[in-house]
Amino acid sequence: MLSPEMPILVLTTGGTIDKIYFDALSDYQVGETVVSKLLDIARVKRPFRIEEVVRKDSLELDDADRALIRDRVAAAPESHIIITHGTDTMTETAKLLSAIAGKTVVLVGALAPARFGESDASFNLGMAFATVQVAAPGVYITMSGSVFRADKVVKDREKGAFVPTEG
């Protein structure tokens, strides 16, 4: 378990959690992260720091972006890391991170933008903060009230949810 004085690193990569609606374009785009605001509203007292890695929809992430995320996780002095990430390719990034030993990494996102009143973003981020503090080293995904080992989950687009895999 993470000691109370050890900070948690939050890496932001974009995704739905940070999307905003541009009226003029009639489109959603990834905006500036709202993670700091969400943690402030939640009155999080645990030490943390936030770093932006990229600001993209996860469908736009490429191998170079994933390598950058991996390198930031590997180089971080923190051993407990949360990554905000779009849900469509979250498991792909998680696979790349699985080779990093000795760190507890939790990927989290949202199915509705955090700026929406009925978003799952705050709850999911809270789950990620809890998970990263108590889980053994490894890579996890937490969404919709569930925690999954990253190598044992897929996104079921028809259900709009992450579901465990067999094995």
* Cβ pair 70, 100 in contact under 8 A: yes
**Residue 167 is encoded by which pair of tokens?**
């094995």
CA dist., res. 22 & res. 27, Å (int): 6
- What tens digit of pLDDT does each residue of 85-136 get? 988 889 999 999 999 999 999 999 887 667 666 777 878 889 999 999 999 9
- What tens digit of pLDDT does each residue of 21-72 get? 555 555 566 666 777 787 787 888 888 899 989 887 778 889 999 999 999 9
Q: Is 119 helix (H, G, I), strand (E, B) or coil?
A: coil
Domains assigned to the chain? 8-164 (3.40.50.1170)
Residue (of 22, 17, 50, 18) closest to 36 by Cα position: 50
* Cβ pair 139, 115 in contact under 8 A: no
Q: Quick check: pTM over 0.75?
A: yes
